[in-house]
Amino acid sequence: MRMRCALIALLMGVANSAAAQVNPEDAIHYRQSQFSVILWNWMPLNGMVRGRIPFDAKEFAKRAERVASVAPQLLEGFPAGSDSGAETSAKKDIWADFADFTAKMKTFEQASAKLATTARAGDEAAIKAQFAVVGDACKACHDKYKAE
Ligand code: HEC
């Protein structure tokens, strides 16, 4: 019974405040999980682009679409105050210049959306070129905002 009240209160809280008042620990776990989903799909793409596994246009498009669908869900995993609360590699600089961090995230979102549409079109050279653009967007953000 007590559990249930707590759960209902939690659900109502989420409905009322959206992501505004989330627990930092939850936010950190949320964003790390999203990055894990991205990496899970990114590795086979990387393998295909580098020729380590055979290029399969359909498989590539499926996984590129997954990355593109997760990308717009990442930013809400970085609410103010979530620079600590669980083990995290997110640098405090993120919140010192959140506009720049947001811009880098948008660049990534757009690049990954374009990778998904390029992948559906099936031109292998164009796909590989756009894959590199997305990879640069990951790196640009990690270099500045992710600790090793
Ligand atoms: C706009 C910034 C940004 C972009 C773009 C970005 N990342 Fe990250 N990434 C981060 C930050 C910050 C962390 C650290 C999160 C934490 O530990 O709280 C992270 C963490 C990760 C992690 C570790 C997750 C864990 O379990 O700790 C992986 C894997 C990862 N990113 C992969 C990628 C890949 C692959 C891309 C591109 C396809 C990408 N990221 C794009 C900022 C970014």
Give me the amino acid identity at 126. A
Ligand 1 atom 35, closest CA: 39
Quote the tokens at residue 137.
């967007």
Task: Identify the burial level of 146 via C-beta atoms within 10 angstroms of its C-beta, where 0-12 means exposed, 13-18 middle and 19 or more buried.
Answer: middle
Length of the chain: 148
Backbone dihedral region for residue 96 (phi beyond 0: left; psi -120 to 50: alpha; all else: beta): alpha
**Domains, the chain, with CATH or none:** 21-145 (1.20.120.10)
Give the nearest ligand 1 atom to 86 CA: 18
Cα torsion 112, 117, 120, 122: sign: negative
The predicted model scores a pTM of 0.89
* Model confidence pLDDT, tens digit, residues 8-63: 555 555 544 555 578 999 999 999 999 999 999 999 999 999 999 999 999 999 99
